[in-house]
Structure formats: structure tokens, C-alpha cells
């Protein structure tokens, strides 16, 4: 059993700390946010992640998982300290390092014996050395020693617990083989592949991996847009591409682009790192630009089908950036819904989990409904932005009967076009042939 402190109880810190406790370690999750710690101590998990509440509460009740705002005391009580604070994107696109530096300073002030300091936050290359300098400069006891390790996270929201408990790989960067080995042993219960490297390479691996996946998404979305113009089906194209073992089938699902806490922030951060180092990363800048434009394909299809949005009632199904999370960071809904309102539409929405989070971010005149069927009732068109199971299993016959016009614009390719045709929908998706398009065009002319 190791004594671990995790500084930061956001998505990464809370999931990682809970999983470390689950495999038998004593973990203290600490945060300066008193409200968040009070909620955790009251048994309320402030983020939505399937299975997290049950696992966290069980480990808390069994004494392996503690929550506190006493960050200094937590540091002193542990031999491994994880930094898992946020690194939000600044106005310039680079990662905001204030919270990482604050955590490093706190560690230095409470370094009472040898500790391994592990960067779990997504940080620019060179942060490990910067953390080392800050800790060293703030040591209360000159005789104390420490090691710095980079251990980037690769959790996917919605499947984070299984990703951690059945880890694909653990990247461990350090200039001290002994410290790297101790962190490797910490990951042994997760039955994962271990890759040890230096600090800088470990930090770059995180950015390189995420930006490569973002590149695959933007690439297939660009291909989807061409498919629509030439009459090809992007799903068949992606399947044929994915059969090539050099390419693989993952992250080739066309849609309205990536969002969330990682890909947007990490692509901008790496572009900034490249610029700062003197390299013009044109490919990555095109990936970002393609993703930004892709969100507007929904608007283009709506205008094409309806002939205008003023006074039209539009149902938006799905607000979170992906299913099984309440995370609204960089969600396409935050771009599309304000644009709908700007063009005079009336917006009714449904999301089974993220509605409360969305209320804080979207304009006040957005309506929130209790089901997909209720959201679609009386609407001129329905837009699918998140492929929640509640959307995938909605009663299509009931939705069609309740809509003013049976028009669905599917930004996630959630349904089989043949099924939508059978139900009588005018159906547009991404990179696939439209269903009943001519009928839709005739209706828009007569409105």
C-alpha cells in the first residue's frame, strides 16, 4: 500500500485518486475548493461519470479514500504526490499554468521528507523542470529531496473508470530510473503496458497522441463533406480505410467535430508550443480550422431544408460534447444553439444528464424538455448533437407524428438512413446521402 496525495479533484484527479484507492492504496484527494470537498465528504460526486459515485463512496467508507482542503497536511502525509489540477486554455491558446505552479509551490513548502512528485495534468514540454525549480525554491527544509515524474492521463469521459482499471498504457517520464520504477509498480494492478522515457518526451506524448486523434477526426469530416458533393457514403469510405492495418478503424466516425476538455485545448496548446519553438505547424492549424467549420454543417443543412430559421421551432437533442458525461466544455451545442437563436429560431432541448450544466452556459430563452419526444413536439426540425442512448432509442413514430415537419438533421450519424426513410423522415446526416431530399426542398419552397 502506498500513501498518495492527489492535488485537484476535477475529472482527472477524482477518477485517478478513486482508482488508486480501489487497488488498495491510501489516497487523499485535496482541493482548495471548500464547496467541492464538502460535497465529496457528504457523498455527492460533483461530476458525472458512470460508476464513479459507487466506487468513490465505497472506498471512502472503507477508509482508503479521503477528501480535504488541508493540502499541506495531505502532502506531508504522503510519499507520492500527484498534481492533477486544471490547465485551461488561455487567450493565446497556451496552457494556463497558474494552478500547476501553485501546487508545486505548496509541495515545496510542505516537503517534509523524500517524495515523488507526479505531473498528471496535461502540461507543455518543460513543465517537469519548471516544477522542479519551483519546489526547490520553496523548500522549507533544505535537506529534503524529491523526484519529478511525468505520468500523463489518457482517460475518456464516459468510460474513464474502465480506462483506468484496464489501462491501455502508462507513460512514465523521469530522469531517475528508481522513481520511474516506483510509479511503474504503482500501475501494476492495472495490468497495463509500461513505457518509460524522459520527462520531455512523456510530456510531448500526451499532446502528440491527442492531436493525432483530432487530426483523424478532422480528416474524416473533410472526407465526409466531399462525399456529400460526389455522392459517396462516408461510412463505407471509413470502413474501407479502417481495414488497412496502418490506419485502423478508430476515430473515423464523421460528424460535427470534436469537443470536450482535451482535444480542443491540446491542439491549441501544441500549436502554440510549435510557434514558440519556431516551427509553423500548418497541418495542425488546418485540423483546428476544419473542426471549427464542421459545426456549421448543421446550420447549412437547416437553412437548405427550411429556407430560413426566423420563427422556426428547432429541437436540439444532446447538449454535452459526448454521451455519458455532463461535460459542456467545447460542446458543439454551445456554438450551434446561440447561432440558431441569433437567426430567429425558437430552441427546445433535451439532454438526460447535462441540462443543468447547460443552463449556466446557454441563453436564458432556451427551453429544456424531459424527453426527446417532448422536445421534438411541434418543431419544424430536429437536430441531433449528442448520440445519447435516450436519443438512439427514442420512439421514431411518435417523434414523426408530433413534429410540425418530420425533418431531422443528424450531426452524429445516429440512425440508418433506410430506417429514417421507412418512418417518413426528411433526414440529413454527415457524409451520407440525404433521405427524401426532394420532398424537403418542395416543402421549403411552399412555406
Is 329 annotated as ligand-binding? Answer: yes
C-alpha cell at 103: 501546487
| Helix, strand, coil % over all residues of the chain, rounded to 5 | 45, 15, 40
C-alpha distances in Å from residue 104, one per residue of 18, 107, 231, 256: 22, 5, 55, 38
Q: Look up the CATH number of the domain holding residue 149.
A: 3.40.50.720
23 and 160 assigned to the same domain? yes
284 and 313 assigned to the same domain? no
Is 259 annotated as ligand-binding? Answer: yes
Domain count, the chain: 3
Nearest to 435 by CA among 305, 254, 283: 305
Instruction: Return per-residue pLDDT of the chain as tens, 447 residues.
Output: 899 999 999 999 999 999 999 999 999 999 999 999 999 999 999 989 999 999 999 999 999 999 999 999 999 999 999 999 998 888 878 889 999 999 999 999 999 999 999 999 889 889 999 999 999 999 989 999 999 999 999 988 889 999 999 999 999 999 999 999 999 999 999 989 999 999 999 999 999 999 999 999 999 999 999 999 999 999 999 999 999 999 999 999 999 999 988 899 999 999 999 999 999 999 999 999 999 999 999 999 999 999 889 999 999 999 999 999 999 999 999 999 999 999 999 999 999 999 999 999 999 999 999 999 999 999 999 999 999 999 999 999 999 999 999 999 999 999 999 999 999 999 999 999 999 875 545 454 444
Global pTM? 0.91
CA distance 403 to 152: 47
Q: Look up the CATH number of the domain holding residue 261.
A: 1.10.1040.10
Could you give the residue numbers annotated as active site?
262
36 and 120 assigned to the same domain? yes
* Whether the Cβ atoms of residue 363 and residue 426 lie closer than 8 Å to each other: no
63 and 177 assigned to the same domain? yes
DSSP labels, 348-412: EEE-TTTHHHHHTTS-TT-EE-SSHHHHHTT-SEEEE-S--HHHHTS-HHHHHHHSSS-EEEETT
260 and 318 assigned to the same domain? no
Maximal CA-CA distance, the chain: 82
CA distance 371 to 358: 16
Is 206 annotated as ligand-binding? Answer: yes
Is 274 annotated as ligand-binding? Answer: no
Give the three-class secondary structure for 99: helix
Range of the domain at 385: 297-446
283 and 302 assigned to the same domain? no
327 and 409 assigned to the same domain? yes
CA distance 79 to 144: 12
* Whether the Cβ atoms of residue 366 and residue 390 lie closer than 8 Å to each other: no
420 and 358 assigned to the same domain? yes
Bridging pattern class, strands 381-384 and 65-68: unpaired
17 and 37 assigned to the same domain? yes
* Whether the Cβ atoms of residue 313 and residue 377 lie closer than 8 Å to each other: no
Amino acid at each position: 500500500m502506498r500513501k498518495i496525495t492527489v492535488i485537484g479533484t476535477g475529472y482527472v484527479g477524482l477518477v485517478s485518486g478513486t482508482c488508486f484507492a480501489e487497488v488498495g492504496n491510501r489516497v487523499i484527494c485535496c482541493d482548495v475548493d471548500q464547496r467541492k470537498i464538502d460535497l465529496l465528504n457528504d457523498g455527492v460526486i460533483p461530476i458525472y461519470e458512470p460508476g464513479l459515485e459507487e466506487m468513490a463512496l465505497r472506498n471512502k467508507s472503507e477508509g482508503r479514500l479521503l477528501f480535504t482542503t488541508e493540502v499541506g497536511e495531505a502532502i506531508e502525509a504522503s510519499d507520492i504526490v500527484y498534481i492533477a489540477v486544471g490547465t485551461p486554455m488561455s487567450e493565446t491558446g497556451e496552457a494556463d499554468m497558474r494552478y500547476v505552479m501553485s501546487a508545486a509551490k505548496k509541495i515545496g513548502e510542505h516537503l517534509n521528507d523524500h517524495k515523488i512528485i507526479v505531473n498528471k495534468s496535461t502540461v507543455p514540454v518543460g513543465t517537469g523542470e519548471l516544477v522542479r525549480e519551483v519546489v526547490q525554491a520553496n523548500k522549507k527544509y533544505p535537506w529534503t529531496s524529491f523526484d519529478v515524474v511525468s505520468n500523463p492521463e489518457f482517460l475518456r469521459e464516459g468510460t474513464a473508470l474502465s480506462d483506468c482499471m484496464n489501462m491501455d498504457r502508462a507513460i512514465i517520464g523521469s530522469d531517475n530510473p528508481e522513481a520511474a520504477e516506483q510509479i511503474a509498480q504503482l500501475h501494476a494492478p492495472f495490468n497495463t503496458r509500461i513505457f518509460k522515457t524522459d520527462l520531455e518526451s512523456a510530456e510531448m506524448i500526451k499532446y502528440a497522441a491527442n492531436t493525432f486523434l483530432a487530426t483523424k477526426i478532422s480528416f474524416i469530416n473533410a472526407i465526409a463533406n466531399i462525399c456529400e458533393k460526389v455522392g459517396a457514403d462516408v461510412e463505407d469510405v471509413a470502413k474501407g480505410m479502417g481495414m488497412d492495418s496502418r490506419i485502423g478503424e478508430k476515430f473515423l466516425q464523421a460528424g460535427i467535430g470534436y469537443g470536450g476538455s482535451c482535444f480542443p485545448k491540446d491542439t491549441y496548446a501544441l500549436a502554440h508550443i510549435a510557434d514558440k519553438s519556431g516551427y509553423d505547424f500548418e497541418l495542425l492549424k488546418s485540423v483546428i480550422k476544419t473542426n471549427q467549420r464542421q459545426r456549421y454543417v448543421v446550420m447549412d443543412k437547416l437553412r437548405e431544408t427550411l429556407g430560413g430559421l426566423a420563427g422556426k421551432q428547432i429541437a436540439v437533442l444532446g447538449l454535452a460534447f459526448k454521451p455519458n458525461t455532463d461535460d459542456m466544455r467545447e460542446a458543439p451545442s454551445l456554438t450551434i444553439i446561440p447561432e440558431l437563436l441569433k437567426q430567429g429560431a425558437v430552441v427546445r432541448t433535451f439532454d438526460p444528464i447535462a441540462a443543468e450544466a447547460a443552463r449556466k452556459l446557454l441563453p436564458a430563452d432556451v427551453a429544456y424538455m424531459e424527453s426527446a419526444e417532448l422536445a421534438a413536439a411541434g418543431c419544424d426540425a430536429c437536430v441531433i448533437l449528442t448520440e445519447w442512448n435516450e436519443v438512439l432509442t427514442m420512439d421514431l413514430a411518435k417523434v414523426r407524428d408530433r413534429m410540425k415537419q418530420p425533418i431531422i438533421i443528424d450531426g452524429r450519424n445516429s440512425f440508418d438512413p433506410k430506417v429514417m426513410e421507412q418512418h417518413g423522415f426528411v433526414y440529413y446526416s454527415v457524409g451520407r446521402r440525404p433521405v427524401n431530399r426532394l420532398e424537403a426542398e418542395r416543402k421549403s419552397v411552399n412555406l
